[in-house]
Structure 1
Amino acid sequence: MLQTVSEWLWWDRLWLPGNLSWSDLEDSEDHIYAKTSHLYAAVPCAFCLLLVRYLFERYLATPLANVWGIRDRVRLKAESNHVLESFFCGQKRAPSQADVRSLCKKTSWTERKVQLWFRRRRNQERAGLRKRFCEASWRCVFYFFAFIYGVVALYDKPWLYNLREVWAGFPKQSMLPSQHWYYLLEIGFYLSLILSLTFDVKRKDFKEQVIHHIATLTLLCFSWISNYIRIGTLVMVVHDSADILLEGAKVLNYAKWHQTANIIFVVFTAIFMLTRLVIFPFWLIHCTWVYPLELFPPFFGYYFFNVMLCILLMLHLYWAALISRMLYKCLFSKLEGDDRSDEDEDDSDTPEERNHKLNHKNGSGTRGRANGH
């Protein structure tokens, strides 16, 4: 049964155009093709990147945070209470007013004390500022070097300047060493992000991030196996270009270089909109959607690859909406973080007091504040 499933999964007609078969992509003296077995190297690469990340954050990012005076906010720990802890872990992190009254009866606590316990307990779950700084620093450094490597690997390639060259001789296109290492680095990185999801900062778009990482890994692996490597490298370098500035703006924002961070964020927004909403759909997706049909009839792999690219595009549209909202705050109020994350709640404020303060800020024209990343 497993053999039958494997034969169907790797059926030539699913992944290759025309009358080609996998035997046509066997290595020869002048042609070397990507193989599925090569992808196994991404697993040790991911663990190596996790080790490098640990060393980077411990011996570079943390000392830099000390130099810039980046400190975690002092948080008061919620006192031990089995009833409230069970409710927090098993039902809701933010109880309604009716829930608070019910819990008051079970614990013999006042409403204010119960609300204070939940605020402190929620704060305990939030990542500290130094952790966010270290994470953003690591991603900024990785995206920077990955982008530089991508530019070096592509600057002299004809398909960078003429997208029709992406499909010249497809799929019998020999894999270059620079492409091999570029793919291995990117696949290993996104695999490391999935492996580190449990201890990374959890943002409000956590589910979208998981979908993005899985879609990206699927695209990278499929494009590797089916020899869509030329278009794959173009997609990677386009995506990395904006991510450098985003993570860099976060780093500077945590260091309280707010004006510089805002300027970089404005530049990031322009590059994000250009690369993700213009170049990606109107150049790259157009390249994968239109040009192949001039050479061979559509097949399953053709549709699969384009659908995955469209899923990425939908995620870009979602993030473009968030970025536009943050840009508005950057230009017309005060941007202090990332709308995708929660900031610490003040132990001294009740929900009614916090709502009153928020309404007062919004109504008086005082600068608002984005949730701290």
Structure 2
Amino acid sequence: MLQTVSEWIWWDRLWLPMNVSWSDLADSDGRVYAKASQLFDVLPFALCLLLVRLLFERFVATPLANVWGVQDKVRLPAEHNPVLENYFCSTNGLMPPLQADVLALCKKTSWTERKVQLWFRRRRNQGRAGLRKRFCEASWRCAFYFCAFFGGVIALHDKPWVYDLREVWAGFPKQSLLPSQYWYYFSEMGFYLSLVFRLTFDVKRKDFNEQVIHHIATLTLLSFSWISNYIRIGTLVMVVHDSADILLEGAKVLNYAKWNKVANGVFVVFTALFMLTRLVIFPFWLIHCTWVYPLELYAPFFGYYFFNVMLMVLQVLHLYWAVLISRMLFKSLFRKLEGDDRSDEEEEDDSDPPKDINHISNNNKPNHINGSGARGRATGH
């Protein structure tokens, strides 16, 4: 049974053009091809990057945060209250309680409505990531995207298919594997797998589901392109994506460090580059290259459709993030920013007049330092 399933999964007609079989992609005459078994290498790459990230955040990002004075806001703990705690746990504490629930809780606790609302604000803040954690995460992603992008440029700058996209398909799928392609591919795959491993530990945002879809689609796309030797177009897709991500994460770092004017400028440049790479180059150059040019050489097959559908999934995510980015750019230029459209982890003002909260003296000025601003609102992967 398993053998039959395996034969169907690896059936030549599914993944390769007509008159091409997996045996044609066996190493011979000094030519080396990508192999499915090499995909197991992505796990040690991911674990290695997790270790590098740990060292980077501890010995680079944290000292940098100290130099730039990036500090977490002092949070006041929520007063112990079993009734409110049970309600908070039953609703996962993700959103403020409904007005009707607040009134019901007021009756059960004999607290004022304002005091109940303040309790929930403080209770939500207790489990939220601090500014330094956000700073370290953004610093790590910025550093990786920077290295990955320029590593990709170095690996691709002398390749003919960078300047003539029809060369992407020259001799396909019998295109030998280059060492630079191996390291570039598995560094990227290891990075996205490491992000999957860290999803439940990193700062959670409102587009969490979209992030999961993005990471899974990216890993699926890279894995398939590796197996079926779509490596040339795969490297181009990665370079195009990494270019804008450097600026996004860099803008976040600057924003957390209170370099607001510089961060605003970087975010504007990021927006322009994002729109150019994700809404122009990616669909009209790269997807056009994968939809049109292959048909000049061979008839369409399942792998052809599968690869292009996965690219379209990424493009839908690009459109979703483009809308968010446009909204944030508008707010940053024409309106006062009041939080992060994406973040579920935004710091909330937990102060209130003393007369309503047991005479606790707090500052009533709204605080938006914890990831506020346009820079913290979109990933653009």
- Counterpart in 1 of 2:142? 140
TM-score (norm 1): 0.92
- Counterpart in 1 of 2:153? 151
Q: CA deviation at 1:12?
A: 0.8
- Counterpart in 1 of 2:301? 299
- Counterpart in 1 of 2:369? none
Q: CA deviation at 1:335?
A: 5.2
- Counterpart in 2 of 1:232? 234
For structure 1, which runs of at least 5 residues remain unmatched after alignment? Answer: 351-360, 362-368
Q: CA deviation at 1:336?
A: 8.1
Measure, in 1, the Cα distance between the counterparts of 2:90 and 2:252. 33
| Misfit runs of 4+, over 3 Å | 333-338, 369-373
- Counterpart in 2 of 1:366? none
- Counterpart in 2 of 1:274? 276
For structure 2, which runs of at least 5 residues remain unmatched after alignment? Answer: 354-365, 367-371, 377-381
1:347 and 2:364 correspond: no
Which of 312, 315, 318 is residue 316 of structure 1 equivalent to?
Answer: 318
- Counterpart in 1 of 2:63? 63
User: Residues 89, 372 of structure 1: CA spacing in aligned structure 2 closer, same or farther, 3 A cutoff?
Assistant: farther
Q: CA deviation at 1:327?
A: 1.2
User: Residues 337, 83 of structure 1: CA spacing in aligned structure 2 closer, same or farther, 3 A cutoff?
Assistant: closer
1:216 and 2:221 correspond: no
Q: CA deviation at 1:213?
A: 0.5
Contact 2:255 2:373 in 1 (8 A): no
- Counterpart in 2 of 1:4? 4
Contact 2:263 2:375 in 1 (8 A): no
- Counterpart in 1 of 2:87? 87
What is the 5 A alignment of 1:146-185? 146-185=148-187
Q: One-letter code of the match for 1:343? A: E
Contact 1:334 1:370 in 2 (8 A): no
State how many pairs are aligned.
Answer: 357
- Counterpart in 2 of 1:40? 40
Measure, in 2, the Cα distance between the counterparts of 1:92 and 1:98. 18
* Deviation readout 1:267-291 (Å, 9 max, x if unpaired): 1111111100000000000000000
Q: One-letter code of the match for 1:88? A: F
Contact 1:171 1:228 in 2 (8 A): yes
Q: CA deviation at 1:81?
A: 2.6
Which of 119, 122, 129 is residue 121 of structure 2 equivalent to?
Answer: 119
Measure, in 1, the Cα distance between the counterparts of 2:198 and 2:99. 36
TM-score (norm 2): 0.90
* Deviation readout 1:216-254 (Å, 9 max, x if unpaired): 000000000000000000000000000000000110111
User: Residues 229, 107 of structure 1: CA spacing in aligned structure 2 closer, same or farther, 3 A cutoff?
Assistant: same
Q: CA deviation at 1:151?
A: 0.2
Identity %: 78
Residue 330 of structure 1 aligns to a residue in which SS? helix
Q: CA deviation at 1:101?
A: 1.9
Choose 332-341 or 154-163, whichever is displaced more: 332-341
Q: CA deviation at 1:331?
A: 2.1
RMSD: 1.8
User: Residues 217, 38 of structure 1: CA spacing in aligned structure 2 closer, same or farther, 3 A cutoff?
Assistant: same
